[in-house]
Amino acid sequence: MARGRKVNGEGTIFQRSSDGLWVGAAYVHTTSGEVKRRRVYGKTHEEARKKLVKLQADDQAGIPAPDRSYTVSEYLELWLDRVRVEKRATTHRGYESAVRLHIAPLIGGKRLDRLTGADVRQFLTRLRAKCLCCANGYDKHRAAKDQCCSAGRCCGRHPTVRQVQFVHAVLRNGLSNAERDELIMRNVAKLVVVPTPTYSVGKGLTVAQARALLDAAKNTRWHALYVTAATLGLRRGELLGLRWRDLDFEAATLDVVQTVQRVGGRLVVDATKTRASEATIPLPKVTRRALLAHRDRQAAERTEAGVLWQDHGLVFATKLGTPVEPRALNRDFSALRVRAGMPTVRLHDLRHTVVSLLLDLGTPPHVVQAIARHADLDVTMSIYAHTNLDAMRQALDAIDWQDEEGEA
């Protein structure tokens, strides 16, 4: 029996004369809320029919078709605008760099809705193989003697496992947003597994080393900062973002609420690293004494600066009251550790020192975790295990017996 007229909305399939592709077309709901004619393509009639059936089935299930086609780069640019508003400035900076330097050059031109797991795997393979210096022009501002790739001598500086993992995470997050926007049916980056890097845990200082470091910092304008770092385990950005109003000397507490970071060539006062980083911490007596002495020192600096003083309310500020450049603090600490005879110690090691000292004193691990504001107790305990190799060695050396011939 001859088939009658098509039912309204049934769709149609035809072969395109220009290239021989089969085209399926139907009116469906789109992400803009409008009903529009959308097409699918196949090399055969059957392939086009299956795609058309899926398009219509999704429409019946309430899954709208993308209103327009984006390339990966086009969509990620839109997504980064959201990240700029919703995330910390440092987070946006890292995401933007990953997109601009790695994702856009390699797969940015691909259609967002046609990206496959195979595309992502190929992208990561190419990412691992490329020389970062050659691809990103890292040596273009260096002296001629230090140039490699621009002078035709590839240095072979390939991305680390951590860098590859981060770039993959940025792509995965961006595609997750596209999935929520109903521009793609699934996040193909989730189908690709990347190796997990092994992180080295910094070694904290012993009590003697911490005391020697603080003794070397006495009578300097940053003595109170190093005392605060050694007793409370604040991060560099948290130390530089600390305000006087975050301190309550009567209640002996300190609130961690903001950081100072250099982002995109400018100093930015931003929220703390994570929500878990925001906390109220008890203020030890030794830290209170150092901070009160520092407040008197800053008052003298404020008087000396006069009208040039810019009041940002910061505990650790420049001699004009402005935020301190993080790299300037690094330079000061580099000179300090040399004076203390500990050239390999890092400023961040003071944060690890707090963990090991508190656990050595018998403080419950969950309390130490709260003070250090670690998101996971495993991080706290891994630092302690790394910093107490000597203690573990002494414990194992206590296992002693004599063999049958009387030799130890």
Q: What pLDDT is attached to residue 396?
A: 44
Q: What pLDDT is attached to residue 222?
A: 94
Separation CA 389–CA 203 (nearest Å): 10
Q: Which residue in 226, 185, 221 sits closest to 347, CA to CA?
A: 226
Residue in the block written with tokens 């008197």: 296
Low-confidence ranges of the chain (pLDDT < 50): 1-4, 7, 384-389, 391-396, 399, 402, 408
What's phi and psi for 50, nearest 5 deg? Answer: -65, -40
**Which amino acid appears at position 166 of this protein?**
F
Q: Which parts of 270-388 fold into alpha helices (H)?
A: 285-305, 326-339, 349-360, 365-372, 377-387
Separation CA 168–CA 74 (nearest Å): 18
Q: What pLDDT is attached to residue 408?
A: 45
The answer to whether the CB of 164 falls within 8 A of the CB of 149 is: no
CA atoms within 13 A on the CB side of 277: 16
Q: Which residue in 32, 182, 21 sits closest to 113, CA to CA?
A: 182
CA atoms within 13 A on the CB side of 348: 7
The contacts of residue 60 (CB under 8 Å, 6+ apart) are: none
Residue 64: C-alpha distances to residues 1, 27, 33, 34, 188 (Å)? 35, 11, 8, 10, 19
